[in-house]
Amino acid sequence: MIIFFIVKFFIYKQKTIIVLFPGVLELFLLKILNIKRSKKIGYDFFTSFYLTLVEDRKKFSGNSIASRILIFIDRLIFKMSDFQFVESQEMLNYLKKNLDINTQHTYVLPTPRPIYKQEDYSPDNNYCQLLFWGNFAEMHGIEYILDCAKHLSSEKYIFDLIGDGPLMNNIKKRVKNEQIDNVRLLGYLPFYDPKSTNDVVANILRADICLGTFSNSIKNNLIIPHKIIEAMSFSKPIITADSIFIKNNLSEIVRGVPPEDGKKLADDIEELFNDKNLMNELSQKGNKFFHDNFSEMSFKKKLTGLVI
């Protein structure tokens, strides 16, 4: 694999090479091979190792040796690459302020999402179908979705949760022990399978409202979850935690609610579902924002402008 990587470096005539996250080993090899600096090396800094493992997942304490190593790796990535991409201005600010990283050649360029086939869907006005998909991890705040579901009528509001992860067993126990009848755990599903009618895309098309993330974690405040981008691509109204990123960029495009508050989430879902004009307005604004900022076409235009 490494030999193939080295051969490609010398055969390919492109003057710019972009390494995708995590890609630390590839970046290190490129730095060695590019000793004459004949090529520009870019790095897609999807997220910080320190932020993810120390501040978000709490795998190590902030004063541990492991945390210092992670900060060293984050800083080393910036030193080994000629330019970097981050998901948001909020992430860039975090890197400068908290990790003391030189971001002089760092650009905000969100990861694009493909556009899938759109199908017409006529919602059943007798009930509201809400959808969450993703990893069952603390950052996503799924426990607050369960709190929310308990406050709403099990006949009028149905919550479909797609995914798996470290909190799956706890979620299953809560649904069973607390008899949360309007929550359906659908397990893992492929995002898109053209031969299936039960992939994530099919469920998005059937949903009335899509759910984002609801924790107040540091990472959740700095990025836009991909599920929100995906929901916008399907012109779906979205309700999510009113994070720093949401307040700064999407306050008039998604419905923001206080994080970690199931009762307020329930109230806002009820209010949004009963206001069809607002649902349509958010759907249209979200889809436009997607095409302007997260489509593959907009990504290519921005990327070309940055690397040429």
For 19-74, write each residue's pLDDT tens digit.
888 888 888 888 888 777 778 888 999 889 999 999 888 889 988 999 999 999 99
Joined together, the tokens standing for residue 96 give 């400068």
Rounded Cα gap, residues 288 and 233, in angstroms: 8
How high is the pLDDT of residue 114? 84
Specify the pTM.
0.89
Rg of the chain over all Cα atoms, to the nearest angstrom: 21
CATH class of the 128-293 domain in this structure:
alpha beta
What's the mean pLDDT when you consider all of the chain? 89
Point out the least confidently predicted range of 20-29, 118-127, 154-163, 288-297: 118-127
297 burial via Cβ count (<10 Å: 0-12, 13-18, 19+): exposed
Distances (CA, A) of 193 to 197, 199, 281: 8, 6, 30
Q: Is residue 162 within 8 Å of residue 131, measured between CB atoms?
A: yes
Concatenated DSSP letters for 74-139?
A: HHHHHHHSSEEEES-HHHHHHHHHHS----TTEEE-PPP-PPPPP------TTSEEEEEES--SGG
Q: What is the pLDDT of residues 160-210, one digit of tens each?
A: 999 999 999 999 999 999 999 999 999 999 999 888 888 999 999 999 999
Options 3.40.50.2000, 3.30.200.20, 3.40.50.150, 2.40.40.20; CATH of 12-109:
3.40.50.2000
Closest to 255 measured CA to CA, from 231, 277, 279: 279
Rounded Cα gap, residues 189 and 278, in angstroms: 30
Indicate the residue type of 240: T
Q: Greater confidence, 127 or 173?
A: 173
> Regarding beta strands 183-187 and 16-19, do their DSSP bridges make them parallel or antiparallel, or are they unpaired?
unpaired
Please state the domain extents for the chain: 12-109, 128-293
Tell me if residue 248 falls in helix, strand or coil: helix
